[in-house]
Structure formats: C-alpha cells, structure tokens
Amino acid sequence: MNSTHLENAGRRDFLRKSALAGGGLVLGFYLNPADSAAKRIAKPSTILETAEFKPNAFIHIAPNGTVTLISKQPEIGQGIKTSLPMVIAEELEVNWKDVVILQGDLDPVYGSQSAGGSRSTPTNYEEFHRLGATARTMLIQAAAELWKLPATELIAKDSAVHHLASGRQLDYGKLVEKASTLPVPAPEAVILKDAKDYKLLGTRIGGIDNPGIVTGKPLFGIDVKLPGMLYAVYEKSPVFGGKAVSANLDKIKSLPGVHNAFIIKGGTDLKGLLPGVAIVADSTWAAFSARKQLKVVWDDGEAATESWAGFTAKAKELSTQPGTEILRNDGNVKAALEGAAKKVEAAYSYPFISHASIEPQNCTAWYKNGTIEIWAPTQNPEAGQKIVTETLGIPKDKITLHITRSGGGFGRRLIPDYIIEAAAIAQQVKEPVKLTWTREDDLQHDQYRAGGFHFLQGGLNDQGKLIAWHNHFVTFAHKSIKDGKTTLEPGSGANLSGDEFPGRWVENCQLEQTLLECNIPMGPWRAPRSNVLAWVFHSFIDELAHAAGRDPLEFRLEILGDKDIIPGTGKQDLPYDVNRMKHVLQHVAEKAEWGKKTFPRGQGQGVAFHFSHRGYIAQIAEVTVSKEGKLKVDRVVVSTDIGAQIVNLSGAENQVQGSVIDGLSALMVQELNIEKGRIVQSNFGDYPLLRIADAPTRVDVHFLKTDYPVTGLGEPALPPLAPAVCNAIFAATGIRVRQLPLLRTDLSWS
C-alpha cells in the first residue's frame, strides 16, 4: 500500500486518532447545497468535539499546535488546494509553517465540491474567511477565560494568543482543550480582518504539493495502488456511439496475466457508460499487451458517415438560409447594412480540439458487498457518484469517493465517463481494479471543445462608427428528448448567447443560430464558449476598425460607450460593468505603450478584451512574422480585474501565464480531423502541443485591485489571447486569420 492510498483512505482515521491522542479543537461549517452560491452563508455547526473526527470539519488544531485544514475542492493544477486554505489561515492568524492540508473526500456536508467555471474561489471565499475568524475568536475567548481577562485585551498572532500589556502568550495547542468546550459564537459576534492587515493573502506561496510533485511522490489518480489490485483497459468503438457485437474473448482470456475479459453493453449517452470490451489483468502491461490482440466486431451506427469535410460543406449551405433560432434582434439590421457607408463580410471557423491533459483518464474502484469505493482524479465528484448510482443502482450512501490530485483537467474531468467505466468493471470482477486509458483513448474518446462556423456582416457609417452587426452561427448539436419529443440542443460549450459582445451595444444587431446535428462528444474546454467566441468577435471588430480607418483601441472604447452597467438579458449572462472593462483596456494600453511605438513591416501589436467567468481581462500581443511566415509572439501584456484581492500571487500569475500558453497552443497548432465518425489523430505525434520555442518571450501580468467581490482566474485570462495575436499578425503583415488553427493560414509576406 503506497502513500497515496494511505493519504486518501486514512485521513479520517488520522484526525480521529490525533484528537484521541490528547484532545484538540475541531471546527467546521455546514454548507447548505440547496442555497445558491451567491447567497449561501456559512452556518456554524454545533460540533466541537475532541473525541472523534467529523467529516464536515475544516479545521483541526492538535495539542502540539499543528493546524490541519481540509481542502474540499479538487486540485487540478489551478492551486485551489493551497489558496483556499490560505484564506482560513489568514483569519486564523496561524503560521503557514504550522499548517497541514488534506484533500477532503466527497461529502455532502462540504457543499459543492466541483472545480469548474472558475467558481471555486468566489463561492467559498467569504465562507472560508468566516471559518478562520470563528476559530480565532474562540481561541481568544479560551485564553481570556484561562487568564480571567476581557477578550478585548487579547490578540491572535503567529499561532498564539497574546496579552500585549503583560507580554504573556499561549500557543494555540495549549488552548484547544478549553476552546473545545466553548459554544460557537454567532456570526455577528465574529469580526473579520481588514484587508490592510492581511499578512498571508496577496503574498507568494508555493503550491502545497510542489515538493511531492518535483520528487515524484504518488499524488495523482494514476498513482493509486491497493493491495491485490488488478488493472483494466476498456476498448470502445472508434466510431462514436458504436456497439460491440462480438469479440475474441476466449483468446484474450488465455493470454499471460489476463484474469478476465468481457463485453459491457453500455448505453447511448456520450457522457456515460458506452459499449465496449473490458480486459482485466495483473498489470497494466499485461492488459495493454492483451488489448493489441483484441479483435472486436463493431456495429458502427449512424455516426459512421460523419466527417469534418462534410460538416464544413453543410455549414456553408446552411449559412445561406435563415437561422433556425434568433438569439437577438435589435433595430433593423437589414436596412442598416444596406444604408451603411461601408459593409464588411467575413466567415470564421474553428475545429474540434481535445483537452490533452498530461495525465490520461484513470480511475480505481473496489466493489464489495454492495458498496463501492472509488479513487478518481475528478473535477466533479458529485457527477461521478451520481452516474454510478443511476447506471449501476448503487445507493449514494454505499459509494465512497476519494478525490485525488489531477494531472490537468481544463474541463475534461467534469465528465465522469471514465469513472463509470471503472465502476462497471469493478462491479463484475469484485476486486480492486484500476482502469487506465492510453493516450490514444484520451485523444480519440474525449469530450471535445466544439467546432463552429460564424458568418458575419458589419456596417459602418460615414464617420467610421459601427452601426450594424449580423452573425449567423452554425454550431453542433445533439439529439435530446424533451417532454417526450426529440429535439436538437447545442453541445456543451457550443451555444451562443444573445448577450455576447457586441450584442447589447450595437443599435442594429441580429444574432441567429443554426444547429448542425452530430454524434461527436462535446464538453467544457477551458473558458467554455468564450475561448472561441472572443477570437471570432474581437477579430471581426478589428476588421471593422481597420475598414473604418480607425485606431483599434479607440474603436473598441467607442463601442463600449459611456454606460456604467449593461444589464444582462440572456439566460446565462451577467450584468456587464463597462467601466471595469474600459479600465483594464486603458491600463493594458498604457503598459504596452499602445500607439507609442513604430513597428517595421513584419512586426505589430494587436489588442483584445473579454468578459468571462466574472473576470475583466484585456491583452495586447506583440508579434514578429518572418517573410517566410514563421510567427514569434514576442510579448503578451495582460491586465486583469478579478476583484478586491489576489489570494496567492504566485498562483494567480501562474494561472494567467498558463492561460496565455494554453490559448496560444490552441490557436497555433491544435485541431482534430473527423472521418467516418472517428477522430483521425491518435497521439501527440499528430496532435502537437505548443513547444517551448514557440512560447511568448515575455508575458507581463498586471492585477488591478478593485472594490468588487473576488472572482476566479483559471479561465477568464484565456479568451483574449487568440484575437490579440491574430490582430497583431494583421498589423504586422496585412494577413487576416479567419480559420483555426494558424497552421491553416499562409502567413508569408513580401
């Protein structure tokens, strides 16, 4: 049994025994999952027990002074396992060196435990402040009662309570016995620290797992090892939705190290348990080797006729017809375009792409006596539990799900297909079994970022002002059953909102959408929707600015206008704070010296901005394009407004820089081709990621601290990158990029 299993399976026992060994203070909040994240308020529980660890406890202080904090959100590389406990530690006035952080298992008393949509920080920030402050208040009260002094004369600092007048102090460890007997104070009796007094928040703190990562400690799902564990692979049809008719199972079962092989019927849900063939062996190598000899007869199904070339041709045909859904229809677009001094038309397209996280999908499951225990690198443990219950009929209270660290997620691990595959295999073999996907599995059975096609028209008056905007969006959709009727619904991340910029700003604006049915699995990809919509809209805005003979920055500021707030009108959109966006746009222009530099042919600057996941971000890219068409991104300047406080400066910078790299990789080289209902690419050899030599020479990151609630940063810094770079390419060469990835456009010039 290795340390990963010990950490995941033994944390409750560790805390229980720590408390029993000499008492301790355990403090937690009940979080009400039924309340909306925006309105949810931490409710003090009545559990202050030293004899037993309670799974809803976030804080445990041992008599030796060690403070153990539970991190409830999955860690996928975004740094949440470090940053959220920092919030508790700040209010608790504890030395960071005294803190031990453990990953919490899935438990309803924690509230939502998913990590996606950059929601982990904004939905927990205030609650975690109050959690730490409540514990601090109780420790101060304990010292006051022991010293028989008013609590107002005492302060907490450096993991101790101090009486400044006398110089006395009591370390937290010496106070836990007394504090454990006190009632939890009412919320109004707990005073949060003033931000000007923060000592930890806003500083640079290394990731709590960094030492283990760089020394190769077993932290990830793929590292889990249990006594007597078996190893599994799962072969699915190369055509999406295909079914296994038969397989040479007897041959596979006779191979060295193979314990079993069987067909799983599965279903039709592209995010669930699909049909396939499982091979279970005594090692990963034996399972992988046996798979090479597996021969399956597949029923390919209706998806076998689908191809990217076919989708492209169909989208062009549909673009000439009225959209099937009108998302916004302000003013009179037709008349405005007909009367415009200048009219610009363009078609933009982008392909399906994969998440390509470095750790392939994997999951370990152990079914025994009607219960199942699961170890999964997941972004959405609740979804994993739910699909096991619905598919295998195992009640939720019979499912234990341990959340391991994930080697990348980017939205991929919000979908629990790999979890239900492992659980279904484990239910048959009734032994602990680890399912491991190959890189080929991961690339060819992903939940992809959807491709799309935009057919745009824009109109300018004789002063060069934008007066009309029309976008016909042809997007991908799946069949859905609603009220007993079959309908089409846009795939995950494939829909367009009527509130997308510049909707709500242009007097004459029509946004229409046509659905193109497909059988390709689609799922959220870092900054869903925004990751491609920002490229389309801000590239076309740049086209309009140049057609008008206007400075692109000035043109954008004019479109934003002088309103303070633009109310949301769509189902998914939030009010848009115009002043915040103008502020970051003007700030990035200042830092990048927009308009103050002279660039020779082949070099240029491009600007873009975007509001997504509650973050206001503007970027300016500086590029060099050789005459032969070789692109080098020299510098990217990023200005961000994500509210009043940066929690962990190192983590925040890492998220912005990572977004720039991720966005550039998708822009430059990533694409998937589809032929006969299957993904053509199979591994990094034909699906390359960005190389170090192609990374920006510099990424300058600026955070604007504003008087607004703290928001997340894992996603909002990605969308402006692609349009900023493409607009810079146009400034450098006069070549407009309208198709992704960049390798599809000849950038050579003379």
- The answer to whether the bond into 741 is cis (omega within 30° of 0) is yes
Residue in 340, 360, 501 with CA at minimum distance from that of residue 437:
360
Domain shared by 380 and 459, yes or no: no
SS3 435: strand
- Give the CATH number, domain containing residue 546: 3.30.365.10
Cα separation values, 299 from 265, 304, 527, Å: 12, 10, 35
Q: Is residue 665 part of a domain?
A: yes
Cα torsion through 57, 58, 60, 61, rounded to 10: -140
Say if 139 falls within a structural domain.
Answer: yes
Which ranges of 293-430 would DSSP assign to H, the alpha helix?
A: 308-319, 333-338, 381-392, 417-429
pLDDT at 640 over 80: yes
DSSP annotation of 365: E
User: Quick one: 351 exposed, middle or buried, by C-beta within 10 A (0-12, 13-18, 19+)?
Assistant: buried
What's the pLDDT band for 190 if we cut at 50, 70, 90?
very high
Domain boundary among 436, 456, 474: 436
Cβ(8)–Cβ(400) under 8 Å?
no
Q: Which residue has the higher pLDDT, 566 or 54?
A: 566
Establish how many alpha carbons lie within 13 A of residue 459's alpha carbon, considering only the half-sphere containing its beta carbon.
Answer: 20
Q: Against a cut of 0.75, is the pTM above it?
A: yes
Question: Nearest-5° angle of CA 692, CA 695, CA 700?
Answer: 130
Verify that 11 and 60 share a domain, yes or no: yes
Chain mean position to CA 713: 9
pLDDT, position 51 = 29
Same domain, 369 and 405: yes
- pLDDT for the residue numbered 569: 85
Instruction: Give the end-to-end CA distance of the chain in Å, rounded to a whole number.
Output: 64
Considering the domain boundaries, does residue 117 fall inside one? yes
**Residue 354 · residue 665 · CB < 8 Å:** no
Whether 288 and 157 map to the same domain: the answer is: no
Q: Is residue 257 part of a domain?
A: yes
| Cis omega (within 30 of 0) for bond into 490 | no
Residue 18 has pLDDT above 60, yes or no: no
Is residue 347 situated within a structural domain?
A: yes
Residue with tokens 């450096």: 158
Local structure of residue 197 (DSSP, 8 states):
G
> Which pLDDT belongs to residue 572?
63
pLDDT at 539 over 50: yes
Residue 442 covered by a domain:
no
Percent of the chain at pLDDT exceeding 90: 87
In a domain, 22, yes or no: yes
User: Tens digit of pLDDT for each residue in 63-73?
Assistant: 888 899 999 99
| Whether residues 158 and 262 fall in one domain | no
Are 174 and 256 in a shared domain?
no
**Same-domain pairing of 503 and 611:** yes
Q: Confirm whether 521 is domain-assigned.
A: yes
| pLDDT, mean over the chain | 92
Q: Do 511 and 333 meet the contact criterion of CB atoms below 8 Å apart?
A: no
At a CB cut-off of 8 Å and minimum separation 6, what does 715 contact?
Answer: 117, 118, 526, 527, 530, 612, 613, 615, 659
List the domain range (segments joined by +) for residue 399: 221-301+361-436
The share of the chain scoring above pLDDT 70, in percent, equals 92
Q: What pLDDT, on the 0 to 100 scale, is given for residue 17? A: 38
The closest alpha carbon to 526, from 662, 417, 692, belongs to 662
CB 588 within 8 A of CB 637: yes
Q: Do both 276 and 202 map to the same domain? A: no
DSSP conformation letters of 322-350: --SEEEEEES-HHHHHHT-SEEEEEEEEE
Amino acid code (one letter) for 415: I
Which pLDDT value is given to residue 15? 39
Q: Are 118 and 709 in contact (CB under 8 A)?
A: no
What is the pLDDT, as a whole number, of residue 571?
67
CB 430 within 8 A of CB 371: no
In sequence order, what are the beta bridge partners of 683?
none
Residues 422 and 554 in one domain: no
480 and 627 housed in the same domain: yes
Average pLDDT over residues 124-147: 94
Q: Final residue of a domain: which of 167, 196, 214?
A: 214
Query: What are the tokens at 145?
Result: 């009662």
Query: Identity (one letter) of the amino acid at 149?
Result: L
C-alpha closest to that of 274 among 378, 415, 451? 415
pLDDT of residue 6: 32
Query: Are 626 and 696 in the same domain?
Result: yes
Number of domains in the chain: 3
Q: Are residues 660 and 528 part of one domain?
A: yes
- List pLDDT tens digits, range 148-166: 999 999 999 999 999 999 9
Please list, in sequence order, all residues whose beta carbon lies within 8 angstroms of the beta carbon of residue 528, skipping any fewer than 6 positions away.
Answer: 117, 411, 449, 492, 493
Last residue of a domain, one of 436, 456, 476: 436
